[in-house]
Amino acid sequence: MSSVYTGPASKAACIEGATLECRIKEIFDSKRDYPIHPLRTSPKALGAIPNPQLFVEPPSWNIHGVQTFPITGVPFTPGPRGQVPIRQDVDSWYLNPQNGKQVSLFLVALQKFQQIPYAQKLSYFQIAGIHGLPLIPWDENTQSKSPGYGYCTHNSILFPTWHRPYMFLFEQRIYEIMIQEVIPQSVPPNDRPEYIALAKDFRLPFWDWAKKPTDLPAIAKDPTISVFFPQAKYTIPNPFYKFTTTEVMGNLGITDVDGVPYSKVKATSKCPPVPKNPLQSDWINGTQDNAQVVTNLRTHAWYQPKDYGTIGEAVYRLLSENYFSTYDAFASTRLTQGQPPADYLSIEGIHNNIHNWTGGDNGGHMSSPPVSSFDPIFWLHHCNVDRQFAIWQALNPNAWFTDPSQQLTDPAGNWSTPAGTKVNPKWALEPFHLNANGLYYNSDDIREWQKYGYSYPELQPWLPQYWPNGQFNQLLYTASIKAAVNNLYSNSRSVLLGSTPSSDDKASHHDYVVNVVYKKFALGGDAFKVHIYVGKDKEVGTVYNFSARPDETGGPEGCGNCRSQQEDETLATGQVHITVPLLHDVEDSAIPLSSLHPDHVEEYLKKSLHWKVTKLYGEEVPLDSIPSLKVSLAVGTGEHYKDETQLSKYHSYRILHSVTEGRAGGLGHTEHY
């Protein structure tokens, strides 16, 4: 469809006749010499939005005809050794008084971002909506290459790469609002050069939920927050506390998911109570049970008082030396036939648990893929996922999925992938565009993150200590990254080295992991959680299936990637590490476990290893209703070094079938994945 805007009548007709396939390509405002960008919305949303209007975008990215929005990140000029601004730990950045001016810029920019009318393509609502609901395409005029289409890349090898330009886009919009609105409106002319420099140096901070002790970011804890500028100091509703809309989200195309009443609310929630009918005002206006979030994050801190728990241990193994056999095992929860026991861990699996613990078991927004990105903490969370991805890349620079043997086939396809295609690094990361001419990002484009003008505290190769005699020393740089990982996350390493004689330079021990495999759509796509226990009441970890029904995320026919996985009965994986909980039991004289020797552990766990499955509202699911669920125990070797520049090595795992044989949801010796 192509039409020209010649006045209110044709404009109204175009809106009235809009469909999901119809993008208005050449509509000209008689008062301007550049076009109005296509309206990104659905007939349902158009009917719900009072007086819907097309968004006229600035001519800087829309000069001749309708063009795509170029995602470039924040403009930057690299230093002589490639220096770029740093994405900082959010608490370190926010709590440092020297950053007060930049923090105020950020908070007011985010507030204004969230207030942009929801029909506008560059609004917070629509950019958050790329991740799932309200099921409408963004910044593109294409047709699906497979029945059903969407943007979701969960349980996909593209999981870490697809989210990287998504972070660029969010970061870029914050910067643009700082420059175009906040500084002109709040900063006197004489002070503007300083604030412009602060805006150019701004990068999205990350929430490191794996550091000890884990906690919610301070910037997200309070409903109001103070900001200051040269001539004013005032308090605003905290835009990181929750995202609030002016009307119920059902009017904006947000539907209920798994029966959770997201359509009836005006704000996002963390760990809300079970919703009732009529819906509680706490749900409607958004409730934030921060204490429960922190409890969830720390539930598995099973080595007190040092707060050694599931999250840090998982991240340490993620980054340890050669833990994964392939890139695809690192990147995705998707099971590859015949993969070794260590490969059941993944960056996506760790990420899934954070979504669950932050959103809670009663449908808080972060716990559900179609609506998780509306909670502002989503962006700090995914910034940290990107950081972990970047650290892993720095430690594994040659690992990628160029080799066809590491490329996963998508049986039914999605928006950008024809059915039966092996996804490779050249595949488009829709809907993210590199330029105004419709060129999409692909995974190869974003492999080197520093060329987009940012890095992380652990990843600063330009620092003087890595340039002895004026030449870059890769060994020194890599050693410093490993030392940082050891300092931040080495939980079981710290425990085991602490009991090693001072004369020894390393500790070697038996290492135990519980692996979980399941059909991602075992419950029709509903999210569920597998709980792992050692002993009757000691929960040592969980595996969260971060999922939604295929028709509830990603496009007008639902998420094509989700639909293909449902039809293909795609399997997903997770892993819980139990070595330190077992050590705790060895130290307890009341528990019948004398050592970590496999003979002792095998007999002990035949009686002491348990699991259960729960879904929304904590409802327990009978194990026989999920026949695809297989829990197994594997033992391998962990080697830990006192040298802080050496990461631990985990290897030589084998399955101890007798622990799970013959039990509901347990892997038997004749079963293989």
52 or 532, which is more confident: 532
17 or 131, which is more confident: 131
Among 192, 204, 132, residue whose Cα is nearest residue 558 = 132
With a cut of 70, say whether residue 64 has pLDDT above it. no
With a cut of 80, say whether residue 8 has pLDDT above it. no
Confidence category of residue 554, pLDDT binned at 50, 70, 90:
very low
With a cut of 80, say whether residue 89 has pLDDT above it. yes
With a cut of 70, say whether residue 342 has pLDDT above it. yes
With a cut of 80, say whether residue 76 has pLDDT above it. yes
With a cut of 50, say whether residue 426 has pLDDT above it. yes
pLDDT at 122: 97
With a cut of 80, say whether residue 19 has pLDDT above it. no
With a cut of 60, say whether residue 23 has pLDDT above it. no
What gap in Å lies between CA 177 and CA 106, rounded to an integer? 9
Average pLDDT over residues 584-607: 94
Report residue 285 as tokens.
Answer: 């206006």
pLDDT at 549: 66
Report residue 222 as tokens.
Answer: 């309070």
With a cut of 70, say whether residue 4 has pLDDT above it. no
What gap in Å lies between CA 566 and CA 671, rounded to an integer? 22
User: What pTM does this model have?
Assistant: 0.88
pLDDT at 673: 67
Give the CA dihedral 18, 22, 23, 25, nearest 10 degrees: -100
Confidence category of residue 595, pLDDT binned at 50, 70, 90:
very high
With a cut of 60, say whether residue 32 has pLDDT above it. no
What gap in Å lies between CA 88 and CA 246, rounded to an integer? 32
In terms of phi and psi (left: phi > 0; alpha: psi -120 to 50; beta: otherwise), the region of 249 is alpha
What DSSP element (H or E) covers 307? none
Confidence category of residue 548, pLDDT binned at 50, 70, 90:
confident
What gap in Å lies between CA 457 and CA 455, rounded to an integer? 7
All structural domains of the chain = 90-319+327-334+343-398 (1.10.1280.10), 489-659 (2.60.310)
Confidence category of residue 48, pLDDT binned at 50, 70, 90:
very low
Among 266, 281, 270, 284, residue whose Cα is nearest residue 118 = 266
What does DSSP say about strands 630-641 and 506-519: parallel, antiparallel, or unpaired? antiparallel
pLDDT at 562: 52
Digit-coded pLDDT (tens) for 161-187: 999 999 999 999 999 999 999 999 999
With a cut of 70, say whether residue 568 has pLDDT above it. no
- Percentage of the residues of the chain whose pLDDT score is greater than 70: 82
377 or 157, which is more confident: 377
Confidence category of residue 149, pLDDT binned at 50, 70, 90:
very low
Give every CB contact of residue 671 below 8 A, 6+ residues apart in sequence. 630
Q: Are 274 and 292 in contact (CB under 8 A)?
A: no
pLDDT at 135: 78
Task: Give the chain's mean pLDDT.
Answer: 84
